[in-house]
């Protein structure tokens, strides 16, 4: 069965520091994709970054990078130079080529940036 595990319910980080949010996944399918989304208190889900299982390089999007370790089945999100506006819930999610576009989500990590 496909499963996403986020083991950090909450994190507190000093402003301007880098932060790593953990995500491990479980799948036996060779073709899959991994997403990270940010959800502020307003509720919208903001796309941050995507990594495909066959991608050779780790994905990067501005201050966001994905530390993809396929053998360990981990896809940690790294946010560099954190800002107060980064305070939010962060969700890791996985998609497969099963004929539909169902995303399997983790339980999320609440990140709080301290000034």
Partner 1 sequence: DAGVTQSPTHLIKTRGQQVTLRCSPISGHKSVSWYQQVLGQGLQFIFQYYEKEERGRGNFPDRFSARQFPNYSSELNVNALLLGDSALYLCASSLDSGVGNTIYFGEGSWLTVV
Residues that bind partner 1 (CB under 8 A): 31-33, 35, 37, 42-47, 50, 52-53, 91, 93, 95-108
- Which of 52/80 has CB closer to partner 1? 52
- Which of 64/105 has CB closer to partner 1? 105
Helix H, strand E, coil C: the string for the chain is: CCEEECCCCEEEEECCCCEEECCEEECCCCCEEEEEEEECCCCCCEEEEEEECCCCCCCEECCEEEEEECCCCEEEEEECCCCHHHCEEEEEEEEECCCCCCEEECCCEEEEEEC
88 phi and psi, to 5 degrees?
180, 175
Nearest distance from residue 12's CB to partner 1, in Å? 19
Nearest distance from residue 93's CB to partner 1, in Å? 8
- Which of 6/76 has CB closer to partner 1? 6
- Residue 90: strand pairing partners: 38, 109
Nearest distance from residue 1's CB to partner 1, in Å? 13
Nearest distance from residue 95's CB to partner 1, in Å? 6
- Which of 4/13 has CB closer to partner 1? 4
């Amino acid at each position: 069965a496909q499963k996403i595990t986020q083991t950090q319910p909450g994190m507190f980080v000093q402003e301007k520091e880098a932060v790593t949010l953990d995500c491990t996944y479980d799948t036996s399918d060779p073709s899959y994709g991994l997403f990270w989304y940010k959800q502020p208190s307003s509720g919208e889900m903001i796309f941050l970054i995507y990594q495909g299982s066959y991608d050779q390089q780790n994905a990067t999007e501005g201050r966001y990078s994905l530390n993809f370790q396929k053998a360990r089945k981990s896809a940690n999100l790294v946010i560099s130079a954190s800002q107060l506006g980064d305070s939010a819930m962060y969700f890791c999610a996985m998609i497969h080529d099963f004929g539909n576009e169902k995303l399997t989500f983790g339980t999320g990590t609440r990140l709080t940036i301290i000034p």
